[in-house]
Amino acid sequence: MNKQKKKTQEEVEKVDIKLMPIGNVPKLKKAKVFKLRRADPFLVVQQGVTKVFSKHLKKGQVFTFSLQASFTPSPDETLGNLTECFGQNNTSLEVGYSLTPNYG
Amino acid sequence: MERTIVHINTENWACYIPIIINLPSKYTTQLQTPFRPLFMSVPRSSYLYFEKEKIFNHFEPVLKELEINNKNFYLQFNSEPVRWNAPTGVFFDMVCKSTNHPEKMPMNLQINFEKVPKKFIEFENETEFYNYYASTFKESCFLLSKSATITQKITENIMANIWNGLKNLSFDEYKRSVQPLEIKYYEQPSLAIRIFLNKQCIQKPIKPINQETEELITLLDIFKNLQLVENGKTVPMTYLIQGITPPLNTPLAFLSASCSHPDGFLYLIITTLN
Is the domain covering B17-112 a CATH 3.10.20.620 domain?
A: yes
CA angle (B260 as vertex; B255, B266 as ends), nearest 5: 75
Mean pLDDT, residues B29-38 taken together: 85
Q: What residue of B is the nearest CA neighbor of A101?
A: B131
Best A44, A47, A70 residue to mutate vs chain B (most B CBs within 10 Å)? A70
- B127-183 topology per CATH: Serum Albumin; Chain A, Domain 1 (1.10.246)
* B192 touches B143 (CB < 8 A): yes
Measured distance CA(B244)–CA(B186) in Å, rounded: 22
Measured distance CA(B172)–CA(B155) in Å, rounded: 19
Could you tell me how many CB contacts below 8 A there are between chain A and chain B? Answer: 57
- pLDDT 10s per residue in chain A (104 long)? 444 455 566 556 899 999 999 988 888 877 778 999 999 999 999 999 999 888 888 888 889 999 999 999 999 999 999 999 999 988 999 999 998 766 64
ipTM: 0.90
Domains in chain A: ranges and CATH: 15-98 (3.10.20.90)
Q: Which residues contact B74 (CB under 8 A, 6 or more apart)?
A: B81, B82, B84, B111, B112, B116, B117, B120
Domain coordinates of chain B in residue numbers?
A: 17-112, 127-183, 187-272
Instruction: Write down the pLDDT at residue A11.
Output: 57
- B187-272 topology per CATH: Ubiquitin-like (UB roll) (3.10.20)
Residues of chain A in contact with residue B154, where contact means CB-CB under 8 angstroms, are 104
Share of chain B above pLDDT 90, in %: 72
State pLDDT tens for residues B247-268.
999 999 999 999 999 999 999 9
Residues of chain B in contact with residue A81, where contact means CB-CB under 8 angstroms, are 201-204
State pLDDT tens for residues B151-203.
999 999 999 999 999 999 999 999 999 999 999 898 899 999 999 999 999 99
CA angle (B44 as vertex; B245, B12 as ends), nearest 5: 60
Measured distance CA(B111)–CA(B55) in Å, rounded: 9
- Shortest alpha-carbon distance between residue B274 and chain A (Å): 23
Is the fold of B17-112 the same as that of B127-183? no
Q: Which of A68, A76, A82 sits opposite B121 (nearest CB)?
A: A76
Measured distance CA(A36)–CA(A15) in Å, rounded: 6
**Structure pTM?**
0.92
* A38 touches A13 (CB < 8 A): yes
Q: Which residues contact A84 (CB under 8 A, 6 or more apart)?
A: A90, B203, B204, B205
